């Protein structure tokens, strides 16, 4: 994790020296490749620092920290661009990455296992390997689509603010700051409520996906500035209900590396596809596309829920058979 943060900081500084479009593309590719090493390592490390029953809350606290960064970073980033230009934004990003490394070195101590692992690990039943786990693969697709919806907030939506309503970058940053502020104060209480009352997590995810779908459909039907705030509220609560429990479901299946790759792909696909659709067909067509795939993900969650129920019934039957089966 420290390597990812430190190298990302250096690359942010180096990006300022690139003067060609091709070079910038290569630099961004290297940056994202190294920066994305942090996420799977961080998620896996939660297994060492938290108990199983606290992992969803731990993930929520991590997201709260990220949202706190959105809260200040989005507003300050927009202000920095207005006052100094984009050049200083890269310097600020690089500095914060290196500062995070110092925080790790000072405050986070490596947790060692109290026992020694065997050199060889016995093979795992092929039924539970990543792409033979039907529930996980379906969840992976749902998470990728959810990520495509959410990342529109950071890719096409700021362009929409500028071109449709002529809003400066600072106000786009404030809207993103609202996103982070709401998540900071409401996400953990929502997670605590869901876990305390044993609410079906997949149903919570379905509600979250539906809220994100509604948020982008509003942009298609309503063309006034006020809708941007309402849209952000729907998208924010949708993201809260979706991502915390999507992460915990993936952790329960023990396929975190592949799971985090789905968000990386979603980030790339969201920006690339969204901007191309906008250039060729306009913003409304993009909102229709986003709404359509979001509805697809919404119905897929119910399919996933039925598969998981069957898995639980099958597991229960196997346990009962093993207990009462005669020798």
Residues of the chain with pLDDT under 70: 40, 43-44, 47-48, 52-53, 67, 70-71, 74-75, 110-130, 254-257, 316-327
Supply 233's token pair.
């509220």
- List, in order of start, the domains of the chain with CATH numbers: 2-108+129-310 (1.20.1250.20)
Integer angstrom CA distances of residue 257 from 3, 58, 156: 17, 18, 27
* 208-266 tens-digit pLDDT: 999 999 999 999 999 999 999 999 999 999 998 998 888 778 777 766 667 877 887 88
Q: Which of 93, 68, 69, 67 is nearest to 80 (CA)?
A: 93
Residue 16 confidence (pLDDT)? 80
CA–CA separation, 168 vs 170, rounded Å?
5
pTM, entire model: 0.76
> Please, which residues have CB within 8 angstroms of residue 93's CB and are 6 or more apart in sequence?
9, 12
Tally of helices (H runs) and strands (E runs) in the chain: 12, 0
Residue 122 confidence (pLDDT)? 47
Residue 124 confidence (pLDDT)? 47
């Amino acid at each position: 994790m420290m390597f990812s943060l430190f190298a990302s900081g250096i690359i942010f500084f180096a990006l300022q020296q690139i003067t060609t479009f091709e070079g910038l593309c290569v630099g961004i590719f290297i940056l994202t490749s190294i920066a994305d090493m942090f996420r799977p390592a961080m998620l896996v490390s939660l297994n060492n620092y938290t108990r199983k029953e606290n992992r969803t809350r731990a993930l929520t606290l991590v997201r709260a920290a990220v949202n706190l960064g959105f809260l200040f970073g989005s507003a300050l980033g927009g202000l920095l661009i207005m006052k100094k230009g984009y050049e200083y934004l890269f310097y600020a990003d690089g500095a914060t990455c290196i500062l995070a490394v110092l925080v790790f070195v000072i405050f986070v101590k490596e947790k060692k296992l109290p026992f020694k692992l065997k050199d060889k690990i016995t093979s795992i039943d092929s039924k539970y390997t990543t792409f033979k786990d039907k529930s996980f693969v379906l969840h992976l697709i749902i998470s990728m689509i959810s990520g495509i919806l959410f990342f529109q907030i950071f890719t096409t939506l700021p362009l929409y603010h500028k071109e449709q309503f002529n809003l400066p970058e600072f106000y786009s940053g404030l809207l993103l700051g609202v996103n982070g502020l709401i998540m900071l104060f409401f996400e953990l209480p929502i997670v605590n409520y869901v876990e305390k009352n044993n609410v079906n997590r997949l149903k919570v995810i379905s509600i979250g996906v539906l809220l994100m779908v509604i948020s982008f459909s509003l942009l298609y039907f309503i063309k006034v500035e006020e809708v941007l705030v309402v849209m952000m509220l729907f998208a924010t609560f949708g993201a809260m209900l979706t991502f915390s429990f999507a992460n915990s479901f993936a952790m329960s299946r023990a396929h975190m590396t592949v799971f985090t790759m789905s968000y990386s792909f979603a980030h790339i696909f969201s920006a690339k596809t969204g901007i191309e659709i906008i250039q060729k067909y306009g913003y409304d067509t993009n909102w229709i596309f986003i709404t359509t795939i979001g509805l697809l993900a919404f119905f897929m969650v119910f399919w996933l829920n039925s598969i998981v129920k069957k898995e639980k019934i099958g597991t229960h039957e196997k346990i009962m058979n093993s207990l009462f089966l005669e020798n």
